[in-house]
Chain A
Amino acid sequence: MRKARIAIIGTGNIGSDLLVKIQRSPYLECTKFIGRNLNSKGMLFARNFNVELSDKSIDAIVEDPDCCDIVIDATSAAVHRINAPILKKLGKFTIDMTPSQIGEMCIPAINAKEALALDNINLVTCGGQAVVPIAYAISRVSKVMYHEMVSVIASKSAGPGTRDNIDEFTQTTKKALLKFTNAADAKAIITLNPADPPIKMHNTLYSIVENPDMDAIRNSVKQMVEEIRHYVDGYKLTVEPMLEHGRIVTMVTVEGHGDYLPPYSGNLDIINCAAISMAERFAEAKL
């Protein structure tokens, strides 16, 4: 098996952090790091690595389609809408980090296998990657009326993309809760906290379940946490499912690897770890 070659489009926090994570993977190499400005913060950072840089956006791939097997698009929903059909035509397996909702939503711990058969997968949101699998784990052993998740992230870890698209975050995460679970209704809430030193990403899931079997729920969630920890080592169950006031409360935190942004940026880490995991699975299955 050879290494899968990856092109990253988008040189912000997500793209720059992915570049570091790819260096660590035995199955992946980054062959092109693409943006619009060779002097952007991310581009200057990327000069530390042995990777070809380009400021030609999607044209960098159109002009040199053999440069990669996988494209990770870390631009914005609006830009991905332009890029997606071009990448489809070029036959590139595309991992979409934006909330564009063009491809199927993918949470590796839930639907990695099915997602590998598609040409464009969407990684939902950071909060979605952290909490939707827990909601799924509760749902697979219960009849759920309602899931509600709350993600609190450090202000410093939320770049302009997240801030300008906070509605897309809220809506997309809610859609993922409904898509991957049997809940009749769902809600997603996000809050930014500017505390200094920055807080670790903190997530809570509330679930209203008919006649819950708490042992089954706890086991199912524990299994899921182990599954996620295979690709996100900073993922931690801090409050195991507990019944209080007629609702089940579960809490997870994510500590980042400290690659591009410091460890408080667990939100950045979990969605990027999901992308790396999908790229590695692709390499294993297809190359």
Chain B
Amino acid sequence: MSKELLLFDASLRDGSHAIKHQLELSTVRNYCSSISDSGLYTVVVGHGNGLGASSLQVGLSKYKDNELLRAARENLKGPKLGAYMIPGFGTIEDNIMPALDIGVELFKIGCHCTEADVTKQHIEFLSKKNVEVYGVLMMSHMASPQRLLEEVKKMESYGARGVVLMDSAGAFLPEDVEEKISLLVENTNIRIGFHAHNNLSMAIANTLAAIRCGASIVDGTLCGFGAGAGNCQLEVLVAILQKQGKLKNIDLYKLLDVGDNVIRGDIGYEKGVSSNSIISGLSGVFSAFAVHVNNAAKQYNVDPRDIYVELGKRKVVGGQEDLVVDVALFLSQKNKRDDSSFVMESLL
């Protein structure tokens, strides 16, 4: 019954919306080479509306689909290279075939949630070639659970290995997720997935609800980098799931680093919960310590995340701000002990 949970990373696809589709090739290269050994299942790359969508209608990409995919292909090891396409924007001839030639290993074919039959051509084409293909039902808040089930079954019959419900408008509440995801999981044999948006600050809550109801694919982005209010922030989700004892194979610090270095660093995206706050939460440290931890980390040149973890271990409570410096000093000494120069320094 239970399928292993797969993480689909949409940062370099949904994130494209947040920067008007001006993704740089250097960003794609940097992102893909850094995320390679993180444990993610797939990294989906391209224009926000998918292959072939660069247009005056929705926005022109700075780089062509093929350039973005090639930059990713040359640097991504580990996660599968994925691409998204909406029939009516892209076609097999103009978009899917070239993407296959470049080495895309996984496709998501999307449509409005009541129109699954327009994906038949594309899902069947890929599935017959034995290429991993998933269906996507966009704006899925607009259809009833029963109607969604009909559409998912169509995609299943075309050969989709799973279907992802997109909450494209960020309009779901957890109870809507439960009703829809449960019905789909109970009545189909393929994977069911959920793609959240954060307009009502429900992205994480909704994604967790989906997982509880048996969703085995979750779509998210680092830093929540995505259209509008952003997506389900993958680092937060992974932190929570690891706290629940799941997804031990995912390198959380790697995700935090890539988010900080590439999404926040290279791109300059500023939304989402900060890496330090995530670790602070995981460690159970009083939130108001943040300022003190940042100062101490800088002064003693230690990773603020390590300070939080150590503070958590020591079970500090509110009012123990003095311990931040104590821990920072302790970690700084500990780091030096691992360093050959430590002996020299300690003798001086």
Partners in one complex: yes
The chain A residues found within 8 Å of chain B, CB to CB, are 146, 148, 150, 155, 160, 163-167, 170-171, 187, 189-194, 204, 206, 208, 247
In the complex, what residue of chain A is closest to B114 when comparing beta carbons?
A194
Chain B residues within 8 Å of A187, by CB = 55
Cα–Cα distance between A190 and B55 once the two chains are bound (Å): 12
Interface residue? B87 (CB, 8 A):
yes
Q: How many residues of B contact A (CB 8 A)?
A: 20
CB-based contact A163/B120 at 8 Å: yes
Interchain nearest-CB distance for B19 vs A (Å): 18
Residue-wise, chain B 292-328 has the 8 Å CB interface mask toward A (1 for contact) of 0000000000000000000000000000000000000
Interchain nearest-CB distance for A147 vs B (Å): 10
Chain B residues within 8 Å of A204, by CB = 57
Contact with A194, one of B93, B94, B112 (Cβ below 8 angstroms): B112
Interface residue? B118 (CB, 8 A):
yes
Chain A residues within 8 Å of B93, by CB = 167, 171
In the complex, what residue of chain A is closest to B120 when comparing beta carbons?
A164
CB-based contact B94/A189 at 8 Å: no
Interface residue? B91 (CB, 8 A):
yes
Cα–Cα distance between A150 and B58 once the two chains are bound (Å): 10
Having A170-B91, A206-B56, one finds 7 other A-B pairs with CB under 8 Å, namely: A148-B55, A155-B115, A164-B120, A167-B122, A189-B55, A192-B111, A247-B56
Interchain nearest-CB distance for A267 vs B (Å): 13
Interchain nearest-CB distance for B153 vs A (Å): 16
Chain B residues within 8 Å of A155, by CB = 114-115
Cα–Cα distance between A150 and B88 once the two chains are bound (Å): 9
CB-based contact A165/B88 at 8 Å: no
Contact residues of B between 50 and 68, Cβ < 8 Å to A: 55-57
Residue-wise, chain B 250-263 has the 8 Å CB interface mask toward A (1 for contact) of 00000000000000
In the complex, what residue of chain B is closest to A174 when comparing beta carbons?
B94
CB-based contact A166/B57 at 8 Å: no
Interface residue? B202 (CB, 8 A):
no
CB-based contact A170/B88 at 8 Å: yes
Q: Among the interface residues B56, B88, B114, B121, which one has the most CB atoms of the partner chain A within 10 A?
A: B56
The chain B residues found within 8 Å of chain A, CB to CB, are 55-57, 87-94, 111-112, 114-115, 117-118, 120-122
CB-based contact A163/B55 at 8 Å: no
CB-based contact B57/A206 at 8 Å: yes
Q: Among the interface residues B87, B88, B115, which one has the most CB atoms of the partner chain A within 10 A?
A: B88
Chain B residues within 8 Å of A191, by CB = 88, 112
Interchain nearest-CB distance for A37 vs B (Å): 21
Chain A residues within 8 Å of B56, by CB = 146, 148, 206, 208, 247
Cα–Cα distance between A204 and B112 once the two chains are bound (Å): 20
Interchain nearest-CB distance for A4 vs B (Å): 36
Q: Could you name 26 residue pairs across A and B whose Cβ atoms are closer than 8 Å?
A: A148-B56, A155-B115, A163-B115, A163-B120, A164-B121, A165-B121, A166-B87, A166-B88, A167-B87, A167-B91, A167-B92, A167-B121, A170-B87, A170-B88, A170-B91, A187-B55, A189-B88, A189-B89, A192-B111, A192-B112, A192-B118, A193-B112, A194-B112, A204-B57, A206-B57, A247-B56
Chain B residues within 8 Å of A193, by CB = 112
Contact with A163, one of B89, B90, B117 (Cβ below 8 angstroms): B117
Chain B residues within 8 Å of A167, by CB = 87, 91-93, 121-122
Cα–Cα distance between A191 and B115 once the two chains are bound (Å): 10
Counting from the closest, the 3 A-B pairs by CB-CB distance are A206-B56, A167-B91, A190-B88
Interchain nearest-CB distance for A159 vs B (Å): 10
Chain B residues within 8 Å of A190, by CB = 88
In the complex, what residue of chain B is closest to A187 when comparing beta carbons?
B55
Task: Evaluate whether A148 and B57 lie within 8 angstroms (CB atoms) in the complex, with A192-B112, A192-B115 already known.
Answer: yes
In the complex, what residue of chain B is closest to A170 when comparing beta carbons?
B91
Chain B residues within 8 Å of A192, by CB = 88, 111-112, 115, 118
Q: Among the interface residues A170, A204, A247, which one has the most CB atoms of the partner chain B within 10 A?
A: A170
Cα–Cα distance between A187 and B89 once the two chains are bound (Å): 9
Cα–Cα distance between A165 and B111 once the two chains are bound (Å): 15
Contact with B57, one of A150, A160, A208 (Cβ below 8 angstroms): A150
Cα–Cα distance between A193 and B113 once the two chains are bound (Å): 10
Chain B residues within 8 Å of A206, by CB = 56-57
Interchain nearest-CB distance for A127 vs B (Å): 10
